[in-house]
């Protein structure tokens, strides 16, 4: 169950992180979108890990 929760957190975090630059008027396939997606994925992994170990 822990692995599924972490992967779900990574998926949600990277997806939301990729859409953040679009709020600022950026492009979906820009360098900023890729970087924000990576940080969102890392944050999602951390959040999924914390959620799985409650």
The domain limits of the chain are 2-52
How far is residue 23 CA from its own chain's centroid? Answer: 16
This prediction's pTM? 0.83
CB 36 within 8 A of CB 20: yes
Distances (CA, A) of 18 to 1, 3, 52, 54: 26, 22, 24, 28
Q: What is the pLDDT of residue 44?
A: 95
Q: What is the pLDDT of residue 27?
A: 74
Q: What is the pLDDT of residue 6?
A: 93
Give pLDDT tens digits along the chain (54 positions).
Answer: 789 999 999 999 999 998 888 888 877 778 888 899 999 999 999 999 999 998
Q: What is the pLDDT of residue 32?
A: 87
Give the number of other Cβ atoms within 10 Å of residue 21's Cβ: 19
Q: What is the pLDDT of residue 43?
A: 96
């Amino acid at each position: 169950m822990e692995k599924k929760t972490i992967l779900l957190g990574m998926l949600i975090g990277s997806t939301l992180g990729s859409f953040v630059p679009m709020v600022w008027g950026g492009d979906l396939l820009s360098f900023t979108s890729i970087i924000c997606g990576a940080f969102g994925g890392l944050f999602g992994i951390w959040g999924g890990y914390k959620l799985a170990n409650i």
